[in-house]
Amino acid sequence: MGISVDTPVQFLKGVGPRLGEVLHKRGISTVEDLLHWFPRTYEDRRAARSIGSLAPEQVVSLAAEVVGVRSMTLGRSKRRMYEIIVADKSGRIACKFFRVPYKGYFERFQPQDKVRVAGKVTEYRGRMEFHHPDVHHLREDEETADTLIPLYTETEGLSPAKLRKIIDTALSGIFSPELTTPAKPAGQSPYSQSKSPGRGQFAPKPDRQLVEPLPAWVCQQYQLPQLPQALREIHQPPPQTADLFLKFQAPAQRRVIFEEFFWLELLLAQRRAGVEREQAPSLKGQQELVHRLIASLEFQLTGAQKKAWAEVVQDVAKPHPMHRLVQGDVGSGKTMVALLAAVYAAENGYQTSLMVPTEILAEQHFQNAQRRLSPLGVRVALLTGQMKPSERQEVYQRLESGEIQLVIGTHALIQAEVKFKNLALVIIDEQHRFGVGQRLSLKEKGLSPHFLVMTATPIPRSLAMTVYGDLDVSIIDELPAGRQQITTRVTYQSKHPQVWDFVEKQILSGRQAYVVYPLVEESEKIDLKNAVEEFDKLKGRFPKFRLGLLHGRMKPVEKEAVMTQFRQGELDILVSTTVIEVGVDVPNANVMVIEHAERFGLSQLHQLRGRVGRGAFKSYCVLVLGYAVSEESRQRAEIMEKTADGFRIAEADLELRGPGEFLGTRQSGLPGFKMANLVRDLGILQQARQAAFKMIADDPQMNHPENQRVWQLLAAKQSAVVG
């Protein structure tokens, strides 16, 4: 039997059991997996330079000699930085590594070794240096001119040259012109009339060859090369297209990026179409209770809140379920829109479920809802996993009888024991904290209920088109009157005395402060300030003040007791981990000190900063950086200083750190992207979305034979993730 995409990779020439195991640990079991292990970048040998000619931001390749290898501790921390110093006749340069690619990586290099270095030149304190470049020993037979070399993620036990040779073997064994599926001539119907297995059937796996998975009309309309050709060019790029490959703009790369987006958008399009076929409770009424709630508020709704509420009212009046995302910055008033929706459902005779990610937030929402809704006669209950069994049982009974009109809780709401009489509205706060399965479990407790999700984490447009692509979006982009602008300043641990003096001054004037740490207790592996140890130190620094400690390992009762004390002004300083990131509202607290701010993402820093500025007092956020932080960490901190716009911050965070937890199995039900980049490839994402939604609109049941094959592939991809 020849090579097919299903051939186990260990049976390729030059691999064998040992290398097969190395590849398997990387998730590469078959030839198909291998061909979809894409280069992270390319080394353009035409761009070879001498060290003396380097300039910042250049992506270069150079041959040099190792002068020395060393490691050093960063400041007072236990984290280490490694350097490989290389030199040529024109000068020397440091190759810096802030993490170890794999054990034994640096021991490979000795003084006088001849190496090739490829990477981006960075200027730091007036000196040129490389950060995490590709470094490998020069080989005698190494090509030096007019070549474009793919660079893959470093893997212990597998040299870059060996990996390239294995991939070349796979390509030569599997690639042949007759394996491609030709595009249909212009003017022909986009759908093939050839026979194809029906929905739910799968093509046999043995000897499966590399064929084009996308419909011919998609490849034709969007001018996409066939997959076999694209894969071959990605791994064996023509030198004359180097500039395009380095920018990830080559047609072959565009083809793969399009497909990665297409599968996700097709899934979202199917979900959207499925929702529109469901029958939901139609909510229509006079809104008497809603108007009474609005009249009872001590503030005026903003224009953005009114607009979001109008969109909700319009949605729930339709015969199919509302699927709407309300996103808005910290403190923009999303919760009030949610309460209006819950009151409207109660007025129509239905129940509402509000699920939140933490016990603290559930308790806070419950108290707020009870205070505002009980006078209207709306019956509210709390349900969390930490309640006594007898208390939970009582809530179960009242929910099933319909007595409770709004229940607020954590994951406890999706337990099998929870049954509703007539659940018509599901609200989820901080949507990104929950996986797809958890959201569906709650939704299934009603008869196709309306679905309202909220997030205070601003979602960049590109991310909203992927993770939330099956939802309509309302944006609350106004802050309520009275919200204070927050002054943000970046400093370093050496300035702690000045920071604590400032905190003391604010507390003496009657305010309160948060001090946030990234860890609960000391870690042997990373030396970061931790909440427990620093709490004891701060008690010594502020002997006259009242301090409280809050972290995720405390029991819910203990956490709520501390938060209640802080809310009621019985504590001056709350020392905490990121458990206070979401929903905590203490108007008198006006100072937020975040230790080791370099350990947090921008959106998380913005969430933490949003805990202050909620009252009538001038508010401050102090970002304290650790010793010898990276240039990227400094850039992130500077962005926080310059803007309070959550959407701009989210875009910058996405660009600097990537989509992170927003993507992958938890959110999409599909594998993460291997080549696609949500910031760089937004235009391709829009095209893939257009194609996917057109396919579902033209053929909702996926009955066309060509579309049935696409359906099978999508189902197989989902199954691979779930299984």
What is the pLDDT at residue 442? 64
Calculate the alpha carbon distances from 219 to 190, 224, 267, 518 in Å: 10, 5, 19, 47
pLDDT, tens digit (0-9, with 9 covering 90-100), for 160-173: 778 888 999 999 88
pLDDT tier at 692, thresholds 50, 70, 90: very high
pLDDT, tens digit (0-9, with 9 covering 90-100), for 519-560: 766 554 455 567 888 899 999 999 999 999 988 788 878 888
pLDDT, tens digit (0-9, with 9 covering 90-100), for 54-65: 888 888 888 899
- 698: phi then psi, degrees, rounded to nearest 5: -75, -30
Contacts of 375 (CB under 8 A, 6+ apart): 296
- CA 237/CA 635 separation, integer angstroms: 34
pLDDT at 143 over 70: no
Bridge partners (DSSP) of residue 97 are: 82
pLDDT at 604 over 60: yes
pLDDT top residue among 360 and 424: 424
What is the pLDDT at residue 193? 37
What is the pLDDT at residue 162? 85
pLDDT at 671 over 80: no
Asked if the domains 46-151 and 288-476 are classified in one and the same CATH topology, the answer is: no
**Percentage above 90 pLDDT, the chain:** 37
pLDDT, tens digit (0-9, with 9 covering 90-100), for 296-334: 998 899 999 999 999 999 999 988 889 898 988 777 788
- Mean pLDDT of all residues belonging to the chain: 82
pLDDT at 96 over 50: yes
- Which of 345-349, 469-473, 605-609 shows the lowest per-residue confidence on average (mean pLDDT)? 469-473
Class of the CATH domain delimited by 486-643: alpha beta
- What topology does CATH give the domain 46-151? OB fold (Dihydrolipoamide Acetyltransferase, E2P) (2.40.50)
**Residue 146: count of CB within 10 angstroms of its CB:** 11
What is the pLDDT at residue 204? 32
pLDDT at 722 over 70: no
Instruction: Name the CATH architecture for the domain at 288-476.
Output: 3-Layer(aba) Sandwich (3.40)
pLDDT, tens digit (0-9, with 9 covering 90-100), for 477-536: 777 766 777 999 999 888 999 999 999 999 999 999 999 998 766 554 455 567 888 899
pLDDT top residue among 560 and 665: 560
pLDDT, mean of residues 700-722: 79
pLDDT at 399 over 70: yes
The beta-strand segments (E) located in 572-689 are: 573-576, 589-595, 619-625
Domain boundaries, the chain: 46-151, 175-238+246-277+681-722, 288-476, 486-643
What is the pLDDT at residue 437? 55
User: Which tokens sit at 99?
Assistant: 């993490």
pLDDT tier at 667, thresholds 50, 70, 90: very low
pLDDT, tens digit (0-9, with 9 covering 90-100), for 410-428: 888 888 888 999 999 999 8
- CA 210/CA 38 separation, integer angstroms: 16
